[in-house]
Amino acid sequence: MKVFNKIVYAFLLFLMLMLLALWLFKPRGATLNDWNMGTEDNKNQISLPISFQVPESKVYTFKTHFKKTSYNTLVIPEINGHAFKVFINNQLVGGVGDFNHPTANIWNYVHTINFSQVTQNELNELRIDIYGLHDVGINQAPYLANNTEIQPYVLLQNIFISESINWVIGAAFTFAILLLLLSIHSDINKKIYLFYAIALFLFSIYSTDLTYRETTGSLAFYLIIRKIQMLSLFLSASFMVIAARYYFTRQKIPSLAIIIILLILSPILFAPSYIVLNNITQYIGLLLIVSLIYLIIINFMDPNKRTLFSTVFLCLAVLYRFFEYIYDLPPIFVVQYAVLIYILGVIYMIIADYSLLKEEKTRLNEKVKHDHLTKVYNRTALEFLTISNGDAVIFIDIDNFKHYNDTLGHSAGDQLLIKFANFLSLMIRSQGDLVRYGGDEFVIILYNHSVTEATVLIEKLRNDIKDLFVEIDLSYGVTEFKDNLFDSLIHADRKMYEMKFMKENTNSH
């Protein structure tokens, strides 16, 4: 039932985000659908959305016409390219980027161009020049609207598609640092945490390719940055697969497979131009698809299905993106949210497992430090107790316990030890710690107690024990802790034997 619920919740969240995106990005004005692409002499009528890989890096022109209108703003929801300019009746009214250095990243931003200063004709020509280094497109039909009415929606749209990328980068980088620290300081799953940290760090580098910016410097510098971003994407996917495979199956990726992946990625480094780089990444994209499918399968293998919700959501987002390209579905911009949710799912799984492992380790440590019969501390625990100079150390031995054990049997002896330990634990409570040193010997550490105070307390406990357990008495030695517990125990043990010897001499007379 829990598995079914997680799948249903993932579907519901995806549906909610999809409906929100469809409502948020629907045109709120006069949509411009009839477009031509090319020059006056060579015009091709096109239908939107349109997006294509360019045969050469240059300016591509898109034109349409609109009648005189009271609208004063052009809204361009999604445009592909690296710089663009907008003209109305051959008058420049706006744009983004520099055609001399076209290195802007503009696709993930809703652009608004105010043309209120333009004198309109009865029929007006709208021209958009897009400089494409490797791709060009208008993925949603632009529309005309009133500036004051549309700006609140545009603000929300840009938060939804652009600001969310910054959230993903921040989350990936933050959790990469967290996992790196975990891999350094943890004594379990070190390599797994390190691989996940590298994967998230590389993904945060790649995600800078998704951020809106009006320039990325010179063309040569942008090409270098683009190569780094593409390598980071593919290497991030590879490290994520390596980490997930090792985490869920404890199987390592064969060294040969890693070498093959590196050889496949190496052409990215030597791509001489944007178009060649884009073509290479298109082919290598198959590696990304295979990695994603394998990653999804690996996550479904988790017996506890801790990442099932985030994995199903990621599947839905990727599938929609795939069908969006094939069937021209309206874009909903939820892949970044899917990645963010998946990252959070992985981090939740790791932290939950880490907490369980720490709890198990703590439990085992406590088990090692406790006596299995009486449940009080054993002598191993003495290494972990924080004892200060001036605290009292009491060494206790049950008189004639061997005779009691031999006479009534070991079971009766065990029961006596349990009752004895329970009584002492109850009596000293927050004042100190009780340790079963071995056999019928116990040690009490009394914090902030002088030897005199400790002697008064143990003598009272001795009388109570003699009343409660008529058949037994105890001998003890009390000393002051000074720097070394071993020496203090020897001193207390010696005093305990002195008391036992005095009682034996008294009884013999």
Could you report the per-residue pLDDT of 49-75, keeping only the tens digit for each? 898 999 999 999 999 999 999 999 999
CA distance 140 to 131: 18
Could you report the per-residue pLDDT of 418-476, keeping only the tens digit for each? 999 999 998 888 899 999 998 899 999 999 999 999 999 999 999 888 888 767 889 99
The phi, psi pair for 218, rounded to 5°, reads -75, 165
State which CATH number among 3.20.20.70, 3.30.70.270, 3.40.50.1950, 2.60.40.740 fits the domain covering 377-508.
Answer: 3.30.70.270
Could you report the per-residue pLDDT of 262-300, keeping only the tens digit for each? 888 999 999 999 999 999 998 888 888 888 888 888 877
Q: Is the pLDDT of residue 246 over 90?
A: no
CA distance 130 to 83: 6
| Block residue for tokens 């963010």 | 340
Any idea which architecture 32-145 has in CATH? Answer: Sandwich (2.60)
- For the chain, helix (H) and strand (E) counts, in that order, are 13, 18
Q: Are 171 and 343 in contact (CB under 8 A)?
A: yes
Q: Are 376 and 436 in contact (CB under 8 A)?
A: yes
Lowest mean pLDDT of 5-9, 207-211, 246-250, 473-477, name the range.
246-250
The one-letter amino acid at 330? P
Q: What is the pTM of this model?
A: 0.74
Q: How many CB atoms lie within 10 A of CB 258?
A: 13
Could you report the per-residue pLDDT of 181-226, keeping only the tens digit for each? 988 987 778 888 999 999 999 999 999 999 999 999 999 999 999 9
Q: Tell how far CA 364 is from the center of its chain.
A: 27
Under DSSP, is residue 259 helix (H, G, I), strand (E, B) or coil? helix
Q: Is 80 left (phi over 0), alpha (psi -120 to 50) or beta?
A: beta
Q: Is the pLDDT of residue 252 over 60?
A: yes
| H or E element that contains 178 | helix 164-185
Q: How many CB atoms lie within 10 A of CB 330?
A: 14
The one-letter amino acid at 465? I
Closest CA to 335 of 154, 203, 196, 177: 203
Pick from 222-226, 241-245, 401-405 the range whose average pLDDT is largest. 222-226
Task: Report long-range pairs for 179-184 (Cβ below 8 Å, ≥24 apart).
Answer: 179/347, 179/350, 182/350, 182/354
CA distance 493 to 476: 8
pLDDT at 123: 96
